[in-house]
Homo-oligomer: A and B are copies of this chain.
Amino acid sequence: MYALSHHNEGLPAIGELPASCVPRFDGTVISFASGEEVVGAGDPTKNYFRVIRGLFRAVNFTPDGRRQVFAFYTPGDFCGLEPDGTHQLTIEAVDCATMAILPRDGYRLRMNDPEVNSALFEGATRALALTIDHMMMIGRSSAEERLAWFLTMLAARSGGSRAPVLELAMQRQDIADYLGLSIETVSRTFTLFKDRGLINLPHKRLVQILRLDALARLAAADRDAAPIHLELWEPEPAAAAA
């Protein structure tokens, strides 16, 4: 369990949050150290969770130790939306991060509140939609396509910039287990992308995207597409008017 060790050593309290982050959900906010467990597989499903700060991951293990990372959760993301009495996934903090704990009982009592309902339902269906993509990728893509998909997704999440610099909070093993690859293959594919000029790796945890267009095309798993040329991915409409 997440152990009520809310050691908020100088971390921002709930007061600092943007209002949009915890709308009409009153929950306890708890901080987790890197690697610390929020819930473990098999724990009773007492709460929902919402990320306040930092990065979390949902993982699952086979009996013989193979590991699959099911999702990464960033601020604003809901998680813990599982049916039945026990959690199927373990949720852990990737780096030092904070989470709002939202007791399920409270929601059950408010089952008639349409806003709560649609928020929960929306969360579940949105997770489902993402998972469809994820599964498609794992089931049918090459190593290159998988990593390209991952980087493209991170770039999209991180906001609008056309050549974003991504800070990878997770380590290679997490990426590998998220993409269904071995850590070595992930590493080799990073190197490959660097050698091809698609990215820069100023630091192991820092990825500068140089050719988002090329990555996006790879990610789309469209092997019939033209083999990459140097057009801008999304020319500014303002500039185009000149």
Contact = CB atoms under 8 A, between A and B. Distances in A.
Interface of A: 60, 62-64, 66-68, 70, 81-84, 88-89, 111-112, 114, 117-118, 120-122, 124-129, 131-136, 138-140, 180, 220-225
Contact of A63 (B117, B132, B221): B221
Question: Copy number of this protein in the oligomer?
Answer: 2
B64 A139 contact: no
B131 A222 contact: no
Given A62-B140, A222-B62, A224-B64, A121 B117 contact: yes
Given A60-B132, A117-B117, 19 more contacts: A62-B220, A62-B222, A64-B221, A64-B223, A64-B225, A68-B139, A82-B128, A83-B125, A83-B128, A88-B129, A121-B121, A121-B124, A124-B124, A128-B128, A128-B131, A138-B139, A138-B180, A139-B180, A140-B180
A27 to B, nearest CB: 19
A63 B225 contact: yes
Given A117-B117, A180-B140, A125 B81 contact: yes
A232 B138 CA distance: 35
Nearest to A117: B117
Contacts of A111: 114, 117-118
18 contacts: A60-B132, A62-B220, A63-B224, A63-B225, A64-B222, A64-B225, A66-B221, A68-B136, A70-B135, A81-B125, A82-B128, A83-B129, A120-B121, A124-B125, A127-B128, A131-B131, A131-B135, A138-B138
